[in-house]
Structure 1
Amino acid sequence: MNWQGVFPAVTTKFHQDGTLDMGMFFKNIDAQLEAGVQGIILGGTLGESSVLSLDEKISLTSQTVAYVSGQVPIVLNIAEGATHDAVYWAKKAKELGASGLMLLPPMRYAADHREVVSYFKAVAESTDLPIMIYNNPIDYKTLVTIPMFEELTECNNIQAIKESTRDISNVTRMRNKFGDRYKILCGVDTLAMEELVMGADGWVAGLVCAFPKETVNIYNLVKAGKYEEALSIYRWFLPLLELDIHPKLVQYIKLAEQLTGIGTEWVRAPRLTLIGEERIKVENIIKRGIENRPNS
């Protein structure tokens, strides 16, 4: 598993009646692959995993694996409240042909240091799939600390970290402590260029769902040391990237996908599509971005 490059956390596409829209889903996947992403992440927050049935998650994973057919790795997100459920999905992911896992700390229960480490180890020991730990204390209330990561070094298949602490210096802090033991991928769109400059290996991206070429271009330019070229795109992109750090990021990004022609805005309740002044405001941000798009 090569935890480098851009990994879109893709949205799950629905028809207006709430059923899965695999045709539009694959249209978006095609756009991601054409842009040069290095992996696809299923079942994250943007994927609305919490409102998918077990059968839908299985179908979405198996169909994506078959459609992508090894062009890039498929990573399945695991966000569960019970350890046995997380272990189930780790085993099921392997069975369905996924290449790796993105793993959150236990959901809904504020686990302590020992419990978080035990949870991660239990999942890691249940599979040989490579794992990326998702460290997002802002949204999910559990900080995976450096001492925790130190204990997890004994799990060889825990290989990467989705860095979403909002603390840019944490990239340097992790490098100072662990060297290259863990790959680090930025998980916050509005900090992506900054973290890549500081040595992050990749970018788990959100607005890539609507703007794949620009996202990949920023990554490639930074890694080539072409900072001024990257910055010109990043400055254009920032008002759009800020849609990723709002509680309604799913609705915002899905609307952006619809306006760029590679998605639909339909979400599942309790989420509702945007209306009124909020919709007008978000549409205007997206339309300005499209009108001034560097690669249009």
Structure 2
Amino acid sequence: MTGIEGIVPILLTPFNDNMSIDYGSLRREIDVTLETGVHGVGIAIGSEIFKLTPQERREMLRAVVDQVEGRVPVIMNTSAPGTAPAVQLAVEAAEAGADRLMIWPPDFFALGPNAVIDHLSHIAEATQLPIVLQDVVQAPISPTLALRIAEAVPQVDTIKVETNPTVAQVDAMVQAIGGKLTVLGGAGGGTLVEEYRRGARGTMPFASQASQFMQVWNALKAGDEDQAAHIVETEILPVSRFGFQSGDMFYHVHKALLCQARIFRNAHVRPPTASLDPISSDELSRLLARSNPAKRTQKEIA
């Protein structure tokens, strides 16, 4: 079994004024994202998945699968602190058409490696879908544990590294697993170039910057690391730096980018969410102005 590689953006979920899912905007987001040449799409924390009802999760996944039409793999996060609900979510995702699952270990209690492996084994047996293991702050996965999981649960073929420091963690993971898992970066993708040098084979950023990340990926594959780094430093990091300043500001920032591109009709973030204060709102407006290609072109002409 071969793990997934490349740029696999996480879709943001657009909402109507009544906070129902805006499927028209979602379909536009999918089409525009796929046009960039990405290698897959995902529904996960970046999609506010934890704010969706079980029915909404199923309906959104079906809508994504329907719109993608098999052009790239669709990955669904089915993490849950209990094995029974995690299995149920995984089975429902498989029935709705997901190509892969993404799962982090149970995070309610620290239960040790045997419990994690048992949890993942039950999910694997229930669906037979390949699994992207997620190394996150609330449930970190050491390289030693990743290797044990890879050997015990063959359907786990990829690991997404998001614990800090991500570059060092990617390096340690690649060294430890010896090719038994494909290693992807995460945490917004701002260190993709450094992770790639250490053996990462892709990342899972927000879909709002799919085009920029594909430019970085193509530059890396062509051996032009300087160009890849330039794109990260000038187009990706300014957005990431602002979005990760506090709370869940990143949702507001990336949805604003999609509104500016006329993909989303509005930038609503489902509650609970931290509203932007006046200073942050002004800073977001300035960021959007700087990142607007049309305005940059007009300034260059002037």
For residues 210 and 92 of structure 1, what CA distance do their matches in structure 2 show? 27
Alignment of 1:107-186 (within 5 A): 107-137=107-137, 141-152=138-149, 153-167=151-165, 168-186=167-185
Greater CA drift, 224-233 or 165-174: 165-174
Q: CA deviation at 1:125?
A: 2.5
Aligned length: 290
Could you give the per-residue CA deviations for residues 75-128 of structure 1, whole angstroms, max 9, x where no partner exists? Answer: 001121211011011111111111001101224334333322322222222221
For residues 161 and 292 of structure 1, what CA distance do their matches in structure 2 show? 38
For residues 221 and 125 of structure 1, what CA distance do their matches in structure 2 show? 39
For residues 93 and 82 of structure 2, what CA distance do their matches in structure 1 show? 17
Task: Specify the code of the residue in structure 2 equivalent to 1:93.
Answer: A
**Could you say what secondary structure the match of 2:191 adopts?**
helix
Task: Specify the code of the residue in structure 1 equivalent to 2:184.
Answer: L
TM, length-normalised to structure 1: 0.91
Query: How has the CA–CA distance of structure 1 residues 257 and 111 changed in structure 2, closer, same or farther, with 3 Å as cutoff?
Result: farther
Match of 1:233 among 228, 231, 234: 231
Q: CA deviation at 1:272?
A: 5.3
Alignment of 1:1-296 (within 5 A): 2-42=3-43, 44-137=44-137, 141-152=138-149, 153-167=151-165, 168-188=167-187, 189-206=189-206, 209-237=207-235, 238-246=237-245, 247-263=248-264, 264-271=266-273, 273-291=275-293
**Could you say what secondary structure the match of 2:45 adopts?**
coil
Instruction: Tell me if the contact between 1:233 and 1:294 (Cα under 8 Å) persists in the aligned partners.
Output: no
For residues 170 and 283 of structure 1, what CA distance do their matches in structure 2 show? 34
Query: How has the CA–CA distance of structure 1 residues 292 and 172 changed in structure 2, closer, same or farther, with 3 Å as cutoff?
Result: farther
Instruction: Tell me if the contact between 1:210 and 1:262 (Cα under 8 Å) persists in the aligned partners.
Output: no
For residues 294 and 109 of structure 2, what CA distance do their matches in structure 1 show? 44
For residues 198 and 186 of structure 1, what CA distance do their matches in structure 2 show? 11
Query: How has the CA–CA distance of structure 1 residues 191 and 292 changed in structure 2, closer, same or farther, with 3 Å as cutoff?
Result: farther
For residues 177 and 295 of structure 1, what CA distance do their matches in structure 2 show? 47
Instruction: Tell me if the contact between 1:18 and 1:268 (Cα under 8 Å) persists in the aligned partners.
Output: yes
For residues 172 and 120 of structure 1, what CA distance do their matches in structure 2 show? 24
For residues 128 and 295 of structure 1, what CA distance do their matches in structure 2 show? 50
Q: CA deviation at 1:21?
A: 0.4
Query: How has the CA–CA distance of structure 1 residues 254 and 233 changed in structure 2, closer, same or farther, with 3 Å as cutoff?
Result: same
Q: CA deviation at 1:172?
A: 2.4
Report the aligned-residue RMSD: 2.1
Q: CA deviation at 1:210?
A: 2.0
Q: CA deviation at 1:293?
A: 9.0
Structure 2 segments unaligned to the other structure (5+ residues): none
